[in-house]
Chain A
Amino acid sequence: MSRSDAASRSGVSGWLRGWRPAVSMAARNLRRNRVRTALAVLGVCIGVLAVAALGIFGNVLALGAADAIGDIGTQIVVSPNADAGVESLSDADVADIRRAVGGPAVVPLYSDNAIVSGQSDQQFATVYGVEEPGLAFEAAEGRLPERHRQGAIVGAGVAEDLSIGAGDTVGIAGRQVRVVAVLTESETFSPVAPDDAVFLPESAFSADGYAQVLVVADSGESARAAADDIREEVNAREERVDLFELAAIVDEVNNFFSLLSTFLLGLGAISLVVAGVSILNVMLMSTVERRQEIGVMRAVGVTRRDVLRVLLSEAGLIGAAGAAAGTLLTVLLVAGLVAFTPEVDASLALDPTNGYYLLLALGFGVGVGLVSGAYPAWKAANERPVEALRN
């Protein structure tokens, strides 16, 4: 008597060795009824396509929205509360705000309006007085000084309208000032509107208080925390300042898009469930048809576990083939969309997070195969061979 005992040989290689003959036998069984197999694979393929495509669609919408809103959520604009009779923010107020927020950069701004003129054109613009422009803005041309002592920093919109660049001279309220830097175009919506503004050193202003204070945080979360701190500490006794913050709105928008993504994924998942039912059907039919064969396998000494492996491999192969085809189709679909539709922003469609949805759909496809194959496989493997062999 040969005592071959696979079970006693543990380890991954032993485990894999048990699956290899199962998968090879499963593949041959699937080839017996090609049309039925192909239809089941098609079902999974469509399901995976739906999950992946709708998932990516939702993700692209969310990414697009995040892109459009930009880092709006990371800035807070603090202004004096006119209702409480506060006309401007003093150095003491700024110090209070600094103390309240801790980490995030605090940039106080003087504010006025003036005619700004270039070589040939002129326009009305907001003029801010700022000491540390580098904390809140970025330069597209030239360099932002650490301490703003002289010269003008021009917003992207003004620079374009008046066609001026760094090194040019600009007239502000009749005085000629050299342009030291031009700002990058602002992607955020903010009441400060830096695009349509010119920034001068604080010394150019003779006002006795700041018109606004910008608080610039790293993330929406810390911006929200900073806003709360200002409300608690600066506004503790009286409502000295008004806060303009968009972090909460950004949260709402993000929540909406994640809900939309989930909803779309759910829609896709329904078709995957339908595909699962079709695998269940195919596997049940095929195990009933092959009842005697499975009985013979059990009779000649093939264990329940190995029968289960063969049948699970069949379902898993259907799932894997469908998932692979569906994933490939999704990739082609997205590529086609990017190639032929100029409205689709390629950088959004090719965002690496979309790969997550591809993987998710691929995993779902294989998973659906295994889950829906589990019951028929278990049922067939556990049938008593004496029943299965009965004609």
Chain B
Amino acid sequence: MYSIELRGVTKRYPGGGAEPVIALDDVDFAVRPGEFVAVVGPSGSGKSTLLNVLGLLDDPTSGQRLLDGTDVTDLSTAERTRARKESIGFVFQDFHLLPTLTAVENVALPTAFDPGDASGRAADLLTRFGLGDRLDHEPSELSGGQKQRVAIARSLINEPSVLLADEPTGNLDTETGESILAEFERVKREGVAVVAVTHDPLVEEYADRVVELTDGVLVGGVPDEDDPDRNGTDPEPQEAETATTGDG
């Protein structure tokens, strides 16, 4: 079973003229638990749309969307919100932390309105990401890499099955970017499917599989059928393989 899967998904936007813009064209895409997939492609190729559709922020025009094997194509707004909260973690290029909240509160934000206090869990996560001494710092007191670690911790607070990252290293220097990607490796080893939309060749190096999106058409979106056991826990050989796919 895939953590997240798109079957024949098309997304059309009403364009300025008579012709609608086709952002995703009959896309098949699937990610196994514990697999790290990088989605590359030129600007305007539909990468953000793909991420939004995967992340239940946007609905496909046609096709099917499955989350942990459950069809989540047509959910109400409230159901989508709940599914996002329970099963999907988001990491953004601009970190998108709330400036009025401390690191711990930012991590606990998805559960802030629930009964019970998640700040213990949030503090544990932050400690795991090496921010044990920054728990009560506000985002303005943190460096870029620290902010992105807080964001990753926030995405994991509800133990999601999928982590979606939009240019996670886009605002970071190479060294910091690498350390963030190392965190992603740790996350995927816990069985979380990681999908990163990126321009950064560094991300492609860390990914188990690189898929390319061009004008809404996705190549290699579904893992090899011959190799059903492949689950991304062994990144070394795949890295070489996917690197060639990515370059080609």
Contacts and interface: CB of A to CB of B under 8 A. Distances in A.
Main secondary structure of the interface of A (DSSP, over half): helix
Contacts of A10: none
Contact of A9 (B78, B81, B110, B115): B115
B96 A4 contact: no
B170 to A, nearest CB: 12
Contacts of B99: 32, 293
Contacts of A298: 81
Interface string B86-112: 110110101010111100000001111
A299 interface: yes
Nearest to A9: B115
B198 interface: no
Interface stretch (B52-60, B178-186, B205-213): B52-60
A299 B113 contact: no
Contact of A1 (B52, B57, B87, B96): B87
A25 B52 contact: no
Interface string A292-306: 110011111111101
B137 interface: no
Nearest to A13: B115
A169 interface: no
Contact of B112 (A9, A25, A32, A296): A25
Interface residues of B, number: 34
Interface stretch (A44-52, A59-67, A196-204, A381-389): A381-389
B84 interface: yes
A4 B114 contact: yes
Interface in B139-157: 154-155
B109 A300 contact: yes
A293 B95 CA distance: 11
A289 to B, nearest CB: 11
A301 B81 contact: yes
Interface in A249-307: 292-293, 296-304, 306
Interface of B: 52, 55, 57-58, 77-78, 81-82, 84-87, 89-90, 92, 94, 96, 98-101, 109-116, 154-155, 158-159, 161
Given A292-B96, A300-B155, A391-B94, 18 more contacts: A1-B86, A4-B114, A14-B115, A25-B101, A25-B112, A28-B100, A293-B98, A293-B99, A296-B98, A297-B98, A298-B81, A301-B84, A302-B110, A302-B112, A304-B77, A384-B57, A386-B57, A389-B92
28 contacts: A1-B86, A1-B158, A1-B161, A3-B86, A4-B114, A9-B115, A22-B113, A25-B112, A28-B101, A32-B99, A32-B100, A298-B81, A299-B57, A299-B84, A300-B89, A300-B109, A300-B110, A301-B81, A301-B85, A303-B81, A303-B82, A303-B113, A304-B81, A309-B113, A385-B57, A386-B57, A389-B57, A389-B92
Interface of A: 1-4, 6, 9, 14, 17-18, 21-22, 25, 28-29, 31-32, 292-293, 296-304, 306, 309, 384-386, 389, 391
- Nearest 6 interchain pairs by C-beta: A301-B85, A28-B100, A4-B114, A306-B113, A386-B57, A296-B96
